[in-house]
Amino acid sequence: MAAAAPAVHQKMSRNPGKIGMAVFGVALVVGLIYTIISLARDLQVERGTSAYPYILLGVALFVALAFEFVNGFHDTANAVATVIYTHTMEPHLAVAWSGFCNFVGVLTSTGLVAFTIITLLPVELILQVGSGSGFAMVFALLIAAILWNVGTWYFGLPASSSHTMVGSIMGVGIANQLMNPRQGTSGVDWGQAAQVGKSLLLSPLVGFAIAWLLLLICKAVIKDKRLYEAPVGTEPPPFWIRLLLFGTCSGVSFFHGSNDGQKGMGLIMLILIGTVPTTYALNRAVTQTQTQDFLAVSQQTVQVLNKYVDSSAVVANPPDDLTAFIRTKDFNANTMLALRSVVSDIGNETSLYKELKNVPPDMTRNFRNDMYVVSEAIRLIQKSGKPAFTADEQSILTNYKKHIDLATKFIPL
């Protein structure tokens, strides 16, 4: 074991080869060109003469990508440690392969994790992400996460970027509530945070248990002692063991990209929505057929909600009432009336514009905000079980929420 360490250090101290650097440089340049062309094409839809939003967009994206960069060199070590230590792969090749698998994981992800993380943020900051307080939130949590990741990396402390991100988001929520106690601003959604916390707490325990069981099974089934011995010198393990190590490295990297990669993607989408809402607030790729389906489901949803509206309920501003419900989780007679009103308004406006791409630029942000609060309100109402919808009614609400999320919770290529 002692003999392997110097050999690994020698390999890691070497400079990457010229061919490898050339391939990396080409990939980087192609990626940057694609990004710039895609962003420029998307921004052509945006109207306005002020350069301020674009400057703010550039700074915000730089900070978000800096977090992704730090997350990359911080977490990649977990994926490549085994293949480098056992001399299964050269260090530079291992890191490059891990990065490629991460990239594939990001491209094939659904975005579910991205928007689950976002629901931990204070609702009013999400709805006003284009304001000063909204960007302060984004900058604060990203810079805090970057500092912690860099600090733990510098001192060689193994730490999870997921825990770091969740902690930063909770810190922003608590600060938001403490700074504005009289305005009734929201802090941390402790119910949602508890669910995320459980997964973060249980995942290492589950991993430990599964790894322990696999080791016992391997020892009972595979009798080749070389599988359980530390590498000696620079001699790589047998071919079949190298294949196993290569597969685990690839799998960890892929699922890191499809999971952790989404956290930054969700925040980047918030930044894009806040600075250039005309382009990114609504999914303009939704087809006319999908829009017609949405209108039909909207009518069904209004009919379902009508059954549970209290005749004594009075609502002055339905979106504000729904936002208050999301913030406080206090369901009352006005909540259902407000939900029905906003669902009806969204359906009427969608019918008027025919397709989401026809929504006027000056109405895009409010249109998206209404959709967002409806989606969150339905999620919380279904979760609480109040009122007690029938199975068919639950199905209709779930279908409606699916259509709403298609329009607002999306990540373009």
pLDDT in tens, the chain (413 residues): 444 556 677 777 777 778 888 888 998 899 889 988 888 887 776 666 577 777 888 888 888 889 888 888 777 788 898 898 888 888 888 988 998 999 899 888 888 888 887 888 888 778 888 777 888 888 898 999 999 989 988 888 877 777 888 888 888 888 888 887 666 566 677 777 788 788 888 888 999 999 999 999 998 998 888 888 877 777 888 888 899 999 999 999 999 888 888 888 888 888 888 888 888 889 988 988 999 999 999 999 999 999 998 888 888 899 999 998 988 888 888 999 999 999 999 999 999 998 888 888 888 889 999 999 999 999 999 988 888 899 999 999 999 999 999 999 888 87
Token pair 């939900």 is found at 339
According to DSSP, residue 235 is labeled: P
Q: Indicate the pTM of the whole model.
A: 0.79
According to DSSP, residue 238 is labeled: P
CA atoms within 13 A on the CB side of 232: 5
CA atoms within 13 A on the CB side of 344: 12
Q: Is the dihedral of CA 166, 168, 173, 178 positive or negative?
A: positive
Nearest to 272 by CA among 64, 74, 75, 103: 64
Q: What angle do CA 48, 50, 56 make, to 5 degrees?
A: 110
Residue 14's contacts (CB-CB under 8 Å, 6 or more residues apart) are 91, 92
Angle between the N-to-C axes of helices 391-408 and 288-306, in degrees from 0 to 180, rounded to the nearest 10: 140
What is the spatial distance between Cα 108 and Cα 255, in angstroms, rounded to a whole number? 10
Domain boundaries, the chain: 4-37+53-275, 288-408
What is the spatial distance between Cα 375 and Cα 115, in angstroms, rounded to a whole number? 12
Token pair 């249109």 is found at 367
What is the spatial distance between Cα 73 and Cα 69, in angstroms, rounded to a whole number? 7
What is the spatial distance between Cα 79 and Cα 77, in angstroms, rounded to a whole number? 5
Number of CB atoms found within 10 A of residue 150's CB: 14
